[in-house]
Chain A
Amino acid sequence: MQRSSEDNGIEVRGLVKQFKTGPKAVDGIDIDVAPGEIYGFLGPNGAGKSTTVNMLVTLLPPTAGRATVAGWDISTQGPDVRKTIGAALQAVALDNFLTAREHLRLIAALQGITGPRARTRADELLHRVGLEEAADRKVGGFSGGMKRRLDLALALVHEPRVLFLDEPTTGLDPQSRTSLWEEVRRLAREDGVTVFLTTQYLEEADVLADRVGIINRGVIVAEGTPAALKAEIGAPTIEIVPTGDDDRVAMSRVLEQFGELHPEAGSPGSVAVRLDQDLAKRASLVTIIRAIDEAGLQVAEVRQHDPSLDDVFLAKTGRTLEGATDAEAGVAEPVAR
């Protein structure tokens, strides 16, 4: 990870947001994001993700606690924070009567960028987000994906040192999603931009984030690298489909020695076992297949389910992330047939 010599990180201490009614939306969270790091902020709807982001980008005053973004205090140095950050919020907010280029010129002007520099920057960003051809069309006719890409471009006009992305890929097609991921990764790795990314998509956090924080009901319930969080949850689950239905009982007996059987984890006709933590370190898939072979059983299919961030979330909060699709929730990947 490229580290900037400047401190463009984020430091949050005991941040609280209490609205007039209801419980605390954010309840005393602490977060540290290093310069150039991509921090994934995960949580279901209503967990407090967007409220946190809105406070950090100075749109919402905190009730208590403090936070600095790139060294500027969000409560007392709002204009300095806003010069340093770029943000693409959850709801894409554009003026339907302006063109993409006019949007970029407007934001550039408000950021103090004018003249040829503003024109060059607009062209550069339109190219980067693939909106060159649509540059002079009013955004009222844009698709949701095009609006999202323009929104990201607006956040990048002034080359921010810290970027807040609040569910940036919601509604994007897979191709646009992948290209946005590449751009975010490039910004962090090549330009040293610190990225604070909220998402409901586990795959997104897994693929992009250097570290992940999970928020539930306003409280951070887990934090770490995706790998560390998953490792904390446990070992993988192995699912075996025997050739014959009659072999299921015998197969269960063989697999029992590797861990706890999980009838609900596998598909019908299969036998699934969650490996014991200790055993998982020693026993590989090969060891298990060898044991099955020694028992004289035939295998039709073997699947390995690695723990997903959804499992982490389930373990930490007792519920699954809303909005997570099957593909993101750790669907099994066939390893042998």
Chain B
Amino acid sequence: MTTAVAAPTARGVVNPHAGSASLPVQVLVLARRSIKGALSRPQGYMPAVIMPLLLLTINSSGLSDATRIPGFPADRFLDFLLVITFMQAALFATSNAGLGLARDIEEGFMDRLALTPMRTGALVTAQISGAVVIAFGAAIVYIIIGLATQVDFHSGVLGVLLLLVLATWTAFCFAAIGAWLALRSGSSEALQGIFPLLFASLFLSTLNMPRDLIEAEWFQVVTRFNPVSYMVDGMRSLIITGWDGRALLEMVAVLALVSGIGIAGCARALRRRQAQG
């Protein structure tokens, strides 16, 4: 196998007209583009706002009788289910970050940007940041809707603020996974093929029913191993329980783990892509 011969350190012509922006500036500029791009396409943000509300409305009216089950932890199914909106917004962060990045790869825009002194990691970070900002905005809307529909946030104002932070972190996890998949596949089609699986993971969790009230044993096992359950339970606890240290700690641990996997996956896929050119 042949290898590239490293040249002795050379010093070349310095272009007096070009420098390079710092990494934070690069990320800021590119994230602005990512948000603008997403907001200029209604199909980019409308599902993230409408779909969760639609699911919330349908499920909370259709499953309202579930509150009569002995041991059900909430008086209103709407309170119990509000968390679906945050999870859906996080799911859309996967598509916003992943599809944005996959399109940049497919259409060669990533190469166009790579011809500048930009660090390629800045583009990935920016796409993730853009998706997270949109999810953050959506989370504020859902909290306002929750307050308007008299959802009783048991953890108070501080809990609501923490809920916002956790919802944003959850969106970050999903966005990082989306970016990783985009970098791995470089194809928006491949990415779209994975969304149904992520969607299914949402409903194979404790989203619609607390674990101990699920009758099917296999379903209980699945929810135990599904990280989404811990995200759901953590955020939900702030709404219907108050300050549940265990639920919150479990959620933070899962978020840290998934973030780590997402970031490491992105970094590895990026290195691989750069090595291949």
Contacts and interface: CB of A to CB of B under 8 A. Distances in A.
A111 B13 contact: no
Contacts of A70: 12-13, 15
A79 B12 contact: no
B277 interface: yes
Contact of A84 (B5, B10, B15): B15
Given A79-B20, A84-B18, A95-B109, A8 B7 contact: no
A168 to B, nearest CB: 14
B5 A95 contact: no
A92 B118 CA distance: 19
B41 A109 contact: no
A75 B7 CA distance: 8
A86 B110 CA distance: 15
Contacts of B37: 95, 97-98
Contacts of B111: 59, 89, 93
Interface in B24-72: 25-26, 29-30, 33, 36-37, 40-41
B115 A57 contact: yes
Contacts of A81: 12
B15 A110 contact: no
B15 A159 contact: yes
A106 B10 CA distance: 30
A87 interface: yes
Contacts of B274: 61
Interface string A60-85: 11111110111111011101111111
Given A106-B29, A109-B25, A71 B113 contact: no
A94 interface: yes
Interface string A106-128: 11011111100000000000000
A75 B20 CA distance: 19
B116 interface: yes
Q: By DSSP majority rule, is chain B's interface helix, strand, loop, or mixed?
A: loop
B12 A77 contact: yes
Contacts of A87: 115
Contact of A64 (B5, B30, B113, B277): B5
Q: Which of B108, B111, B116 has the most CB of A within 10 A?
A: B116
Nearest to A72: B12
A73 B10 contact: yes
B21 interface: yes
Interface in B98-146: 104, 107-118
Contacts of B277: 54, 59-61
A288 B116 CA distance: 58
Contacts of B12: 7, 68-72, 77, 80-81, 84
B10 A160 contact: no
A75 B11 contact: no
B4 A66 contact: yes
A151 to B, nearest CB: 8
B188 to A, nearest CB: 14
Nearest to B275: A61
A300 interface: no
Nearest to A6: B13
Given A68-B12, A75-B4, A159 B112 contact: no
B117 A111 contact: yes
A49 interface: no
A54 B14 CA distance: 21
B15 A161 contact: yes
B115 A59 contact: yes
A154 interface: yes
A109 B28 CA distance: 10
Contacts of B26: 109-110
16 contacts: A59-B115, A60-B277, A63-B3, A68-B12, A70-B13, A72-B10, A73-B7, A76-B6, A84-B12, A93-B107, A94-B107, A110-B26, A110-B113, A110-B118, A111-B116, A112-B18
Interface of A: 6-8, 16, 18, 54, 57, 59-66, 68-73, 75-77, 79-87, 89, 91-95, 97-98, 102, 106-107, 109-114, 138, 151, 154-155, 158-161
